[in-house]
Amino acid sequence: MSSPELLQRQDPEVARLIEEEQERQRTTLQLIASENFASRAVMEATGSVLTNKYAEGYPSRRYYGGNQIIDQVETLAIERCKQLFGAPYANVQPHAGANANAGAYLALLEPRDRVLAMRLDQGGHLTHGSPVNFSGQIYDFISYGVRESDPNREWLDLDQMHQLALEQRPKLIVIGATAYSRIIEVDPVREIADEVGALVLFDAAHVAGLIAAGVYPNPLFTRSGGRGADVVTFTTHKTLRGPRGAAIIAHEDLGKSLDKAIFPGLQGGPLEHAIAAKAVAFGEAMDPDFRQYGQRVVDNARVLADSLSAEGFRIVSGGTDVHLMLVDLRDFDAELDGRTAQVRLDRSGITCNRNQIPFDPRSPFVTSGLRLGTAAMTTAGMSTDQMKTVASLISRVLRTDDDQTCQEVRREVADLCRSFPPPSER
């Protein structure tokens, strides 16, 4: 899927950059856990004439005329989202995951209210109370983390969460993470929240597609079918394989507050072309094939983690239940840091990101680890056999700072990727 001819004629500079990025994606391994390949249908909806329409408000409650069709588009996205996740309520307008979280906080909290959330350097997110983020500047965040010692080293420390909740009496407990490879069960968190009178928000940005596929428990509900998280926020472009954007699902009693928080509280006009693409992605995720895709993503992640472990890397928390893993580089090479590894792998056609590991002695700009994900490569059609190959390639690159090795691996990566093109290339 090359740049359209009109764009090539009208703005060859932009067209050239798009072509170069497309070439990068088709010839390199995409192992960034927050990325995926959207389908042609999703991209067509994103680039549709719906981008021309202003539609402040909600279906049947707009501040502009001419929204008869737009209302149908957004209503379709809402209904598909509710059906996909079994949710009583959905808002599909958030432009990004950070906006979804900001809207949820605006609906549930007052400034300086106390919130429990996961530490950024142990798997959390900027919007979970980082002091450089709006969340940490407006609300009073207290951080919990993972276990430092056995049993269950580097697994979520529910005992610590419970103790902090009893001491701090938060109004909200945030769970969900961007760099944590184990399933987070909502049931014990719901019990803690009920004990101290707190609400629960689950940030499902990374695992939304796995929830839709049925390979990760739906956090809106407990295992017995009771009320789990009060609100669930998620992005649509990671494991869900949709356009860049986000959504909120929740129980019905919070719907009006959440709607008001997103518009007019936080955002103006919704991006209806992106909302149409979200509707497409929700529809794709309801196909039985998507359930198989979700299972393949997890299977690939487990095999990649096991294969890297066999190469001498340490996998944080001992493995993975999801689409990502954190790799501790220190057992492999005590001198190798995440920044150096990321650059060396990039030169070799393997795209990933450096990441702090729990209790990391290095700064977030350097780190001792890498975060790897399998969602995009699974979308491209790779299976467990290819994951073993990828682990071997990573090991070869990181065993030496030799440019010849990087170039050899880059050629092998390009050969591998030719057999597994992104959906837009098929």
Helix (H, G, I), strand (E, B) or coil at 87: coil
Helix (H, G, I), strand (E, B) or coil at 85: helix
Residue (of 329, 343, 337) closest to 395 by Cα position: 329
Half-sphere exposure of 134 (CA within 13 A, CB side): 9
- Identity of the amino acid at 267: Q
Q: Which of 157, 203, 259, 328 is catalytic?
A: 203
CA gap 20, 26 in Å, rounded: 10
| Count of CB atoms situated within 10 Å of the CB of 159 | 10
Binding site, residues? 120, 124-126, 252, 363-365
Residue (of 207, 155, 154, 152) closest to 322 by Cα position: 207
CA gap 404, 382 in Å, rounded: 26
Q: Which of 54, 140, 396, 405 is catalytic?
A: 54
CA gap 184, 397 in Å, rounded: 33
Q: What is the dihedral of CA 129, 131, 133, 137, to 10 degrees?
A: 90
Distances (CA, A) of 407 to 1, 76, 402: 27, 48, 9
Q: Which of 28, 222, 233, 235 is catalytic?
A: 235
- Identity of the amino acid at 217: P
58 is catalytic: no
56 is catalytic: yes
Token couple for 60: 């049947």
Q: Which of 40, 82, 244, 260 is catalytic?
A: 244
Helix (H, G, I), strand (E, B) or coil at 49: helix
Residue whose token pair is 């690159």:
397
CA gap 92, 233 in Å, rounded: 10
203 is catalytic: yes
CA gap 341, 290 in Å, rounded: 33
Query: Which bin fits 68, alpha (ψ -120 to 50), beta or left (φ > 0)?
Result: alpha
Q: What is the dihedral of CA 330, 333, 338, 341, to 10 degrees?
A: -160
Check: CB of residue 55 under 8 Å from CB of residue 66.
Answer: no
13 is catalytic: no
- Identity of the amino acid at 248: I
Q: Which of 19, 35, 44, 56 is catalytic?
A: 56
Binding site for (6S)-5,6,7,8-tetrahydrofolate, residues? 120, 124-126, 252, 363-365
Q: Which of 80, 238, 354, 410 is catalytic?
A: 238
Please give the positions annotated as active site: 54, 56, 203, 235, 238, 244
